[in-house]
Structure 1
Amino acid sequence: MVVNTITPGHGGGRHLAALTLGAAAVVVAAAAAATLTEAAPTCSRGSRYVAKDGVLSVLATARTDDDSPEWVSFTRNIGTGGTNDDAPMAPQEVIAWKPNRTFTDIQPPGETARLAYPFTVTETGHYRLMMRSAAPFVTEKNDVWLSLNWPRGASAYIRDRSSSGADGNNGPGNNWGLKLTSTQEDSGYLKVYQNRGNNEFNWDSFTVDNNPHIIVSRWLDAGSNHTLRLAARSTTVEVHRLVLFRCDKKDPEGCNDGGASWRAATNAPLSQCA
């Protein structure tokens, strides 16, 4: 049996090392305090994660394929609640693309280190797309590419995060400001980023440079199958969890950060396979 763990790399980085079962037992005993708090259900090829109660929640490590060994998995102390600044802290598994490579060119959309997370929707509606991630800087090495089988034309809804709906332009409830965007030029992918920096894990998941917009899917039918794809864009950014949650345009809180649907999604248990 082989167990993956993390050992120091050059320049303070990390890399995966293979241990025999006997050696792994020593490591586990020595690091009992660092037991992972989440057991990641990992779907085999041909299986799918199943959304429950309008929420899909999967660990980034639980992809169904391993298209690139350049994604490295390791543990970080992350708050166990659902908010951006939650506690208590506990070790949880994350992934990063080339975490030891400080200087690497930005990768084109969907061309590098693609990972797949197939799933089934059980409730009809629009779904907001989010990830929980951490980045070392506010405006650099803070982004990935994400795709949800977008059609090549008008493929997803976005909305200015700062839209309040109070000025009459976006309508009541802040959700009428959703507008269609095209991913045709980017092979069906959207750049998704956060601006916290300081390696702080949070749920901020935006698109559109210098003008953060949230991302909401087109209409998804109950029973339909889809595949969420993650691809490398920048090095060192760490991804913990990927989430989709159904949100109602007519709900005053709707898809907003901190709303009832958002809180339920960020606290939801991990989705199971079928």
Structure 2
Amino acid sequence: MDTEQRGPGGGWDFKSDFSGYEGSGYLSYKPWSNYGGTEAKPESMLDTRIKTYFFTVNTTGKYRIVLKSAAPHPTEHNDLWMAVPESGAIMRRFGRDVDLTWPASRNERGELMLDGQNWFKVYQNQGGNTWNYGGKTVDHNGHVIITRELKADHSWYSVRIAGRSTQFAVDRIILYLCDGAQCDDWSEEFKTATVRATESHTPQNSCGM
């Protein structure tokens, strides 16, 4: 899903400065601002920072959510808010357990599960304003973000993003079908999904607008 399809506004600006973007350009949150802090999560859907992207799936299952993003610094200006309203999200754990500051429960695998109405931080640590495929949550112990099971016969689902750090750019939101270790960065499924997204310029892996 190309982020620019929802257009600028609410602090998001349409840009085409960084080479390697897909489609006609990308969205960057307040690229003119050097403010080094972060903005609070949205309190209502009236918040103009929110961009909502709708999609369907052709295959029932869990999907990892991947951002193609760029940030000027590995630890500053490098994140946004995300919500997955219709299904909620599972956060696959890496290393030690991390207690979350928002309501959460665990599934049978011990994976942390987010309520679909909650906003959570998604970040990257590459910096250099170069495009990165990924997106993790939980500081210092990155968790990949996976939906709960999505149904092929469901009318539509959505992913929402909202501005958190200035100068953070997002080109695409990619979802790919995975389970367990297939969702990890080093999996062949992750590599295939990101390569196909770059080659095709369309939403990937049984997903569509």
TM-score, length basis structure 2: 0.77
Equivalent residue number for residue 179 of structure 1: 111
Change (3 A) 1:77 1:255: same
**Alignment pair present for 1:242 and 2:173:** yes
The answer to whether the 8 Å contact 2:13/2:31 transfers is yes
The answer to whether the 8 Å contact 2:27/2:169 transfers is yes
Larger radius of gyration: 1
Letter in 2 for 1:73: F
The answer to whether the 8 Å contact 2:10/2:50 transfers is no
- Matches of 1:114 and 1:257 in 2, distance apart? 27
Deviation at 1:209, TM superposition (A): 1.1
Equivalent residue number for residue 103 of structure 2: none
Gaps of 5+ in 1: 1-57, 81-90, 164-175
SS at 1:77 equivalent = coil
The answer to whether the 8 Å contact 1:150/1:188 transfers is no
State the identity %.
Answer: 30
Equivalent residue number for residue 78 of structure 1: 20
The answer to whether the 8 Å contact 1:78/1:92 transfers is no
The answer to whether the 8 Å contact 1:159/1:177 transfers is no
**Alignment pair present for 1:205 and 2:135:** yes
Change (3 A) 1:74 1:258: same
Q: What are the within-5 Å matches in structure 2 for residues 1-274 of structure 1?
A: 58-63=1-6, 66=7, 68-75=9-16, 76-78=18-20, 93-103=25-35, 105-111=37-43, 112=47, 113-149=49-85, 155-161=88-94, 179-183=111-115, 187-224=117-154, 225-249=156-180, 253-268=181-196, 269=200, 270-271=202-203
What whole-Å deviation, never above 9, does each CA across 1:144-185 have from its counterpart, x for those lacking one? 01111156xxx421123459xxxxxxxxxxxx966023358x
The answer to whether the 8 Å contact 1:129/1:216 transfers is yes
- Matches of 2:41 and 2:33 in 1, distance apart? 19
The answer to whether the 8 Å contact 2:67/2:134 transfers is yes
- Matches of 1:194 and 1:104 in 2, distance apart? 16
Change (3 A) 1:234 1:79: closer
SS at 1:62 equivalent = helix
Change (3 A) 1:109 1:273: same
Gaps of 5+ in 2: 97-107
Deviation at 1:118, TM superposition (A): 0.8
Runs of 4+, deviation exceeding 4 Å = none
The answer to whether the 8 Å contact 2:79/2:123 transfers is yes
Deviation at 1:67, TM superposition (A): 7.6
- Matches of 1:196 and 1:120 in 2, distance apart? 30
- Matches of 1:69 and 1:191 in 2, distance apart? 18
What whole-Å deviation, never above 9, does each CA across 1:89-118 have from its counterpart, x for those lacking one? xx9622111100111642222354111111
What whole-Å deviation, never above 9, does each CA across 1:26-75 have from its counterpart, x for those lacking one? xxxxxxxxxxxxxxxxxxxxxxxxxxxxxxxx111122xx5825211111
Deviation at 1:189, TM superposition (A): 1.5
Change (3 A) 1:157 1:273: closer
